[in-house]
Structure 1
Amino acid sequence: MSSDDAYAAFLEKANEDPNAGRPAKNSSNGKNGTNGKASTREKQVPERLVTAAKDRFYVSDADEPWVPVCFDLGDKTSLPDEDKFLSIVNVDGSPDDVSILDPVDWDKQGDYKPLIDELRVESKGNDIRVYRLKVDQTRVEYWLVSTLDGNLLGYKAKAIES
């Protein structure tokens, strides 16, 4: 075998998915995430939001991807308060850990305008809010969401703010 073949084989092995062949796990890391169980309120995310979030990241000390989300609001049609938000997205925590922000004030530089615009179209012009969920001293989650037909839909991203 030539050294080129050996190097190509090495590169193929290095680029393999380390989780190949293993069953997928639910996200579970304490107060952040779904506590190891799938939320019964999660629903199919609209394709428009999936496409808009592709290759987009929230810029912080750890650039994390925007993840499209959709949750059932039940009979609610308005954006939830802090306490109800935690219940809907199935996250343990205190309402004191949640701040509600206006998207215009939150995104002063317009970095996330494409996501906001797509969410506005998908939600047919309904109000949009940003929920900032404090996970610990340096970790937070940003939830950019709106409502449509009894659903809370939008995006979430993890951030490190030191």
Structure 2
Amino acid sequence: MSRVQRFQATVTVDRRGRTHVHIPFDPDQVWGPKPRHPVAGSVAGRSLRGTIEKLDAGPVMTLGPAWTCLALTDGATVDVVLEPEGPQREDLATDIAEALDAAPDAAAAFDGLAQFYRKQWLRWIESTKRRPDQRPVRIAEMIELLRAGHKERP
């Protein structure tokens, strides 16, 4: 199944100049449940990185006024291309994925991190090449720190 989602959306622009892109699908169903969905892609041909928020009215991505110097008009219909940003659970090494599967609370925390933090955790674990005995120790430490609410190693 493709991670890339292509669709047309009608945007709303609020009085503070923020552009709200209404997402016509449930990102939890398409990309797996997460507390938040960091995404990359484009809106109206303009590149972006953002986060899909879950609101009562449905999923929405809000883009600040600095996103573009050429504002979209309220009610405009635009082409949108989005995909999850950064390493996803299915991209992980088996031992890391299994550890996260065994700790759903840590997995939810990991899945909700921005790509910078996810990549930082994975680089730290992968840096055990010369000391492979440290890899499971680091994976266990990552799980405990994520459970404690840390985005990165203290």
Please report the TM-score for the alignment, with normalisation by the length of structure 2: 0.22
Hey, which of these two has a bigger chunk of helix by percent?
2
Please report the TM-score for the alignment, with normalisation by the length of structure 1: 0.22
